[in-house]
Amino acid sequence: MRFLRSLAIALAAMVGLTGAAAAEAPFIIVQSTTSTQNSGLLDAILPQFTEKTGIEVRVVAVGTGQAIKNARNGDGDVLLVHAKPSEEAFVTEGYGVERFDVMYNDFVVVGPASDPAGVAGMTDAVAALRRIAETEAPFASRGDDSGTHKAELRLWDAAGIDAAAASGGWYRETGSGMGATLNLGAAMGAYVLSDRATWISFGNKGDHRVLVDGDTRLFNQYGVILVNPEKHPNVKAAEGQTFVDWLIGTEGQAAIAAYKVDDQQLFFPNAD
């Protein structure tokens, strides 16, 4: 172990591109989800924060489940994800300081134009999923414990369908990110539950389109949490708090509202 440690230190010193070198400019690590990154939102708003505060924001974009696990290990200063029950558990268990609503958008069911299950135009997402299951039309699930996956599982639950039982049949669990799942869905003509932001900015839509939306159960809330410095002393609490305050403050909220792709607003700020 000691050898490993000294080897690592020697390495760090030789390369000179780590901790020490970067320490001059303060930075925080934000564990976030693929939807905020792939939609281009973070690329658009983070420079405004950095310009104002001089704090660089390094984003690790993974699924919500993995982001929470990473934050639990102390590998991040701020958590920005979309699975409210898991976020609240994260705070209750003492890993996070406090949770704040940041913004919302909604989930949509996208599918092929041919629409084999005939769900186009439905506004009842649960009924639509039930129809997909009944016709055994292919459905591609994230299957990765992400926020979107959790939302999808809640819908199947509400529909009273055990989709996992059909896994490998009409129900395909990709175990990968939103984009990878959309790529697969487009290629095999499968229905997919996606967050609207990722869908709008997605570049490989094929003949897929939004078939089901407008159900209140498709609401998608994002929250932000400062990782608890009492649990992990390495957490940069001051800088992290500055970021949380900015994000839920006037400027951050305005920056979120101003971000558009193809003239469509992707995220709607709703901090208190």
Partner 1 sequence: MSALSVSLRLILSGDPDLWEIILLSLRVSLFAVLIAALIGMPLGAALAVGRFPGRQVLLVLLNALMGLPPVVVGLVVYLMLSNAGPLGVLQLLYTPTAMIIAQVLLVTPIIAALTRQAVETLNEEYADQLRSLGLSRLGSVPTLLWDGRFALMTALLAGFGRAIAEVGAVIIVGGNINHVTRVMTTTIALETSKGNLSLALALGLILILIALSVNAAVALLGTTAQRTAYV
Handedness of CA 112, 115, 121, 125 (dihedral sign): negative
Cβ atoms within 10 Å, residue 4: 8
With contacts defined by CB under 8 A, name the span among 2-10, 113-121, 157-165, 251-259 that binds partner 1.
2-10
The separation between CA 247 and the C-alpha centre of its own chain, rounded to angstroms, equals 16
Question: Pattern of binders to partner 1 over 186-225, x per CB under 8 A?
Answer: x--------------xxxxx--------------------
Q: Which of 45, 109, 182, 256 binds partner 1 (CB under 8 A)?
A: 182
Q: Which of residues 131 and 232 has its CB atom nearest to partner 1 in the complex?
A: 232
DSSP element (H, E) containing 30:
strand 27-33
Question: Pattern of binders to partner 1 over 35-64, x per CB under 8 A?
Answer: --xx----x--------------xxxx---
Q: Is 19 in the site for partner 1 (CB under 8 A)?
A: yes
What minimum distance in Å lies between the beta carbon of 244 and partner 1?
Answer: 19
What are the Cα distances from residue 100, in Å, to 199, 237, 269? Answer: 25, 16, 12
DSSP element (H, E) containing 87:
helix 84-92
Q: Is 85 in the site for partner 1 (CB under 8 A)?
A: no
Nearest 5°: the CA angle 161, 165, 167 is 115
The rounded distance, in Å, linking the Cα atoms of 130 and 215 is 14
Are 251 and 144 a contacting pair, CB within 8 Å?
A: no
Q: Is 234 in the site for partner 1 (CB under 8 A)?
A: yes
What minimum distance in Å lies between the beta carbon of 127 and partner 1?
Answer: 29
Q: Which residues bind partner 1 (CB under 8 A)?
A: 1, 4-5, 8-9, 11-12, 14-15, 17-19, 22, 29, 34, 37-38, 43, 58-61, 70, 72-75, 177-180, 182-183, 186, 201-205, 232, 234
